[in-house]
Structure 1
């Protein structure tokens, strides 16, 4: 595995246009945003959109976790049938690259609508990730994540609320990602605090060895402090769902952050967003589908077609409260057992 870090202003933030030709099979260009209050664990909204030019395909999703229920909206179309600014009820606009996006969701069957702007509050962590897989294919993609705040309006079942000041982490990735085989633990961690965000991607093998680590502590004053080490002691249910735990982050400047996460709010199961191998699969023009999960125990990372979960958590760092997305997945292999490293 290798990563490089560079000024995020060098990242081409708009999705690739029609002039990008001769792209490799498996190429994608994707965006993902989450949106949630700064001091509450509901509602949690996660949205994403991706284009797959060699397949002439686009798809996207919106996931709402709120009041004991998860609502999932998935949409897809042919890339050639869109203007590359969205599909189905979802639209986006890059108002100012790496600084300001507009995100819109029109009326749809899950009863969620929004018209919001995401504005960067920290610099972005940007890297190029290269991983040699067990298969012959090699993963290589540009990757960016960045903390921001929202303004605008969210409507759920006809009731509108302001999202002014809400937190939101975004993730942009572009390239070929075919990571497969041998993974034990996956974490995409985005802990939001008033003046900074702790963000990293960690992947470990089934034996507990590090396969990939990239990220930084991103501060509102413009400082980026790359993350050099992560240790963890997490509690999971028998159904592979995260309950709570500690994460210790070490940085290049010598800082150490030990953060407690409470993950009992539930929801964020990314199977509802199509992460069970459904992205990039052609469904023709203007395909929209939806479903809902009862969060009372009917579904879990073990029972769904993907274990990946983006849980809105309460964080505590030496008495400083925060909220944010703790994305996790354990392999469902019977040969694997989670091993804390802290």
Structure 2
């Protein structure tokens, strides 16, 4: 904290009080409750949970309220809170094939095994303002709206039966935990995926868009996009087996990408992968595209020099909390630094003026 002027602490206290007043807004308007934010601003809540690396809709909603709707500030609050929590165990990997799907679509197969479920989506809306919402009228329930409870097999599994898509390598190694250890390069794929899933949605989207515009070899189809709830299990040593401790909502995306083959791999399709907390399909698709772009080296492809292929560039700049901290610190007092720069400029100008005068005298 910078307190470089007399009375600075009092000014900061007053700023906090003014912030609280601005956050509340007009007191004649009913205050938003955490429950309202959680239920009616669900996509914002999902983003805060995903980029904050903590699945708790109530805390994410509280953070959004406290941050006056600034999602990056809310993500910062959630990450800060997360560091105070004790860790007493690990969950086992979730089985997304057992997901109770609210939404499950494929852009590669019309008659996808298991069926297509459009679910709640903006895809087919007309993007016209609905002024009925301003009247605060009730919205009728969707007829027959219910998640698909039966296990839904992955589309890529059917491609894999013909050997047309690269088989993912399985490993028993425990991946590094980016929430507890600093990022180290070169990063393996699990670490890259962790960075992308909690990376800034806008940044990851921009990187993904760049690959579609030719700044990487990345012609992708959405093999499958699914949104739904999966059980979370945890192994209890005293019991000797895993028990279900809850469930979480996830968005999963697998892309199918063209691959001409290399010296070590035959022609086949390859995959990009995205997995994000909550309903966050734009982020999941973007993540899958960038994941595929970053795999160029392991697939034996040529480096096209595209930004999305540069592991260091992508992973070090996708974190909006680090970026925000470094960016916003420059608005805090830097009086001493600036005074030294100012004195240096004045000195250089004096020296330049003296040299010019000397040169002029010599010419005369």
Q: Quickly name the TM-score band, shorter chain normalised.
A: under 0.3
**Normalised TM-score (structure 2):** 0.23
TM-score normalised by length of structure 1: 0.24
* Structure with the bigger percentage of helix: 2
More strand by share: 1
Name the larger-Rg structure.
2
